[in-house]
Structure 1
Amino acid sequence: MKEIQNPPHAPSLLESMRSIGYSLESALADIIDNSISAKAKRINIEFRPTDAPYVAIIDDGDGMSKAALESAMRHGSTNPLQKRHGDDLGRYGLGLKTSSLSQCRRLTVISFRDDKFCAYCWDLDVIVERGSWVMLELEPVDIANIPHIEVLRSQGKGTIVLWQNLDRLTAGESSADSAIGQQMDQARNHLSLVFHRFISPETTRSRISLSINQNALPAIDPFLTDHKATQHLDDDIFSVEGSKIVVKPFILPHASKLTPTEMARAGGSDGLRNQQGFYIYRNRRLIIWGTWFRLARKDELSKLARVRVDIPNSLDHLWTLDIKKSAAHPPEAVRINLRRTVERIRHVSGRTIIFRGRSADRGDITPGWNEILDRDGVRFDINRNHPSLNAFTNQLTKLEAAAFDAVLAVIESSFPADALYSRMASDIRSSFNGDEVTGRLKEMAEAIFADIERNSPLRKNLLTTLHLIEPFNLHPEVTRKIVEEIKKHE
């Protein structure tokens, strides 16, 4: 049997690889991975949509020698089967080239190290014209004309990845300025989420500054870890093939406890429900999120559950990580452990939604409604023993009390359960607790205490426990002031 060399046709392969599925934000994330692996502390994305549009990713990392850069510009420069450094964010040795050329036709990389510049360029038009793998090496006069080249010299080290001929970013658009600007806005939010653990410093980790046109990107923490109502559940740590995986569940606050800004951070346009699930981090870099990996369904009661899963790059071969580092599937050994986590947190999430994140035991609360479970399912009955109802019915005659009870039965039978579920599932904030809540609570309290003697044990007991009675328990500060005002006038 005879061996023959059958290399791919350069123009055909490279043009085909442009359609591998990169978006602008995922392409930028791949370049930032390389900067972080090069120990960069400052990474700035500069883009100019007018005249000769370009995108430049500039870092202050270690930079590369001429030989190292030439190797890095080779397609498949790294064997994915080789063992990588524990902090390395790369995988296939294709990201720099495939991500860049998915967005532009001309990729130039300039690096500065040991007071020396080196630069190489892949130009698809040149490759098509020559019909071969022709890479261009820039001369000093060419390097001098590279945008932002003075930044590398002032830093003393670093790398610029320059995209020119941005045909994909402006395809089908009447205005390159508007098209690139809008896509950069989307990229801003994506990068703020994907690299949030680098932007916000963690213990023993230094902070990385990430910016677009010198405007620093904020960290978007999907777990709202600093919110006082976020529940941090216990870690679950296990090993696969000698590598440690750390699983950290969080239960987000109920929507009623979130400001519009916090709600946007937690769910954005997709809403809380669609963003529930596992958040997989490879070396602290978010690679996939908002999925239960078919271990559970996305439903209303689990929508506040989010689980951070930290995996090392040593398990890439088991997670079937794709080239774009935007998709992965857990192996069986991991799924078994994750299933245990799912079962643990879904109950806590459901309880938070039902009780709006209250930390008090439900048994201590005097509810306005009673949940009744029977063979037909679940229904909600008005609590006839609620103090406000007792205060009212005590003033009624026997016939009037019977008529009032019939009215309550009509209200119970017409409880809009389906409509309520639909609205709550859409993340529309409840208006039950609007600005008029103080006035409503005062009126209810006045009705409850109106006919109770000032020195009676019942009155004293109600004043002591009013904060445990619905809906007063939802507004402890307002309730405290109401109780103080009542006591003051006694």
Structure 2
Amino acid sequence: MSLIEVLPHPAGTLVALSGGGYTPHAAVADLIDNAISAGAKVISLHLDISGEGVLSVEDDGRGMDQETLTEAMRVSTGWGTVRADDDLGRFGTGMKAAALHLSEVGRFTVSSAAADGTGTAITMDLRQIEKEDRWVVHREDRMSLKRGTRVDIIGPLFPRRQEEASAGLMALSGHLRVTFAAQLQGGLKIMLQGKSLEPWALCTSDLPGMTSMSSRPLKGRVRVTPFILPTDTEDPMVEGPLGRQAHAGFHVHRNGRAIVSGGWLGMSAGKRGSGERNRIRLLVEIGPEHDDLWKVTLPKSGCTLPQMYRKPLKLLLDEVLSRAGRQRAVRTDVGTRRRNREAWTNDGLIRREHPLVKKVFELSSDVAAVEQLLAVLEGGHQDG
């Protein structure tokens, strides 16, 4: 037997990577991940629809010198290294795959400088790589640049007509506000066409009428927190950019960054379209160490529920569905609501964020038992 080297086809490999589950929204988010990992505090996105069109993603992060930028253009750079806790990277292919996915002509330029003054620009052109049949890029040195990095995608996947482009940017805005809600709340600034994006957290008791249940730890430092939406609301901040039904189900966050913002990860959750089903959101928090187990995708826009978590999450899901059903059925009288307005919701459920309730959870060694007790009290409140 002999050992034979089988080299990948350069252009074919890049085409496969750029099409590996990406959407335009996921590709832009992947570029923002890189900026955050570089310590950026301000990230600016700008779409120019004139001519071929250019989508620019610029940050004020650490920037890269000539050698570092050249290495960053290598596919799977940094593969096998341990990711820092705040690193949102995954495979070391994100910038290349995301930028090429976004470019209809297969060309983008990265300009970067580690300090104000002199920097480097590198252009990756899929057509040139295909012509040369080699992993080649064009580099320009000693450019006058300020500290940070800028990615210019030529011929981006956005409509050229102003009205349609504006609608596309509005949809992108909603996606980024949800995906990076935690980072935006933590001080990150993302600018889109010069306008600062506000966080849009979908799993928080701060939303009007939202009911939260106690967080449950799972094996391997995974935590899940269930939320139940109010029965009726027209508040878009509660419904989410895609609507209540689309955002129902699991919300998987990796280092606070949303990977999944709705869907059931292959689990059964009541009848499709049912009111209880559509009012449930379960926030699952994982870290970079769970990437392989959860099979986080290349664009970081999907994952697979590990078998070891299916049973405990199914039990929790059934519990939340049952509670949402009780909530819909409750009809408490006005006097009772007034007397208990601080501890009870209008739908007859005990507020988990009430100071006394939170204190009980903190002092208890059996969170599940406390949750069961509160459910019993809620049932009695309903019967009364």
User: Do these two structures clear the TM 0.5 threshold for a shared fold by scoring above it?
Assistant: yes
Supply the distance in 1 between the matched residues of 2:163 and 2:5 (Cα, whole angstroms): 47
Matches within 5 A, 1:82-101: 82-101=81-100
1:50 correspondence with 2:50: yes
- In terms of fraction of residues, the more helix-rich structure is 1
Matches within 5 A, 1:249-328: 249-255=226-232, 258=233, 260=234, 262=235, 264-268=236-240, 270-293=242-265, 294-297=267-270, 298=272, 299-328=274-303
Q: Which residue of 2 aligns with 1:455?
A: none
Structure index of larger Rg: 1
- How much has 1:270 moved relative to structure 2? 4.7
Supply the distance in 2 between the matched residues of 1:269 and 1:38 (Cα, whole angstroms): 28
Q: Which residue of 1 aligns with 2:223?
A: 246
Higher relative contact order, structure no. (Cα contacts within 8 Å, ≥ 6 residues apart): 2
Q: Which residue of 2 aligns with 1:350?
A: 325
Structure 1, unaligned stretches of length 5 or more?
Answer: 202-206, 365-467, 469-490
Secondary structure of the corresponding residue to residue 287 of structure 1: strand
Q: Which residue of 1 aligns with 2:197?
A: 217
Supply the distance in 2 between the matched residues of 1:10 and 1:31 (Cα, whole angstroms): 22
- How much has 1:361 moved relative to structure 2? 7.4
| Aligned residue pairs, count | 333
Supply the distance in 2 between the matched residues of 1:329 and 1:357 (Cα, whole angstroms): 41
Q: CA RMSD in A?
A: 2.6
Matches within 5 A, 1:5-20: 5-20=5-20
- How much has 1:339 moved relative to structure 2? 2.1
Q: Which residue of 2 aligns with 1:419?
A: none
- How much has 1:334 moved relative to structure 2? 2.2
1:102 correspondence with 2:101: yes
Matches within 5 A, 1:150-189: 153=146, 157-166=147-156, 168-170=157-159, 175-189=160-174
Secondary structure of the corresponding residue to residue 89 of structure 2: coil
Supply the distance in 2 between the matched residues of 1:73 and 1:63 (Cα, whole angstroms): 14
TM-score with structure 2 length normalisation?
0.79
Does the 8 Å CA contact 1:273/1:300 hold for their aligned counterparts?
no
- AA at the equivalent of 1:85: A
- How much has 1:224 moved relative to structure 2? 5.2
Supply the distance in 1 between the matched residues of 2:197 and 2:219 (Cα, whole angstroms): 34
Secondary structure of the corresponding residue to residue 102 of structure 1: helix
Q: 1:135 aligns with which of 127, 130, 137?
A: 137
Supply the distance in 2 between the matched residues of 1:359 and 1:343 (Cα, whole angstroms): 30
- How much has 1:83 moved relative to structure 2? 2.6
Supply the distance in 2 between the matched residues of 1:307 and 1:15 (Cα, whole angstroms): 35
Secondary structure of the corresponding residue to residue 291 of structure 1: coil
Residues 270/352 of structure 1: CA separation in 2 closer, same or farther (3 Å cut): farther
TM-score with structure 1 length normalisation?
0.63
Matches within 5 A, 1:331-342: 331-342=306-317
Q: Deviations over 1:447-478 (max 9, x none)?
A: xxxxxxxxxxxxxxxxxxxxx9xxxxxxxxxx
Does the 8 Å CA contact 2:207/2:237 hold for their aligned counterparts?
no
Supply the distance in 1 between the matched residues of 2:95 and 2:331 (Cα, whole angstroms): 46
Identity of aligned residues (%): 27
Q: Which residue of 2 aligns with 1:191?
A: 176
Structure 2, unaligned stretches of length 5 or more?
Answer: 340-380
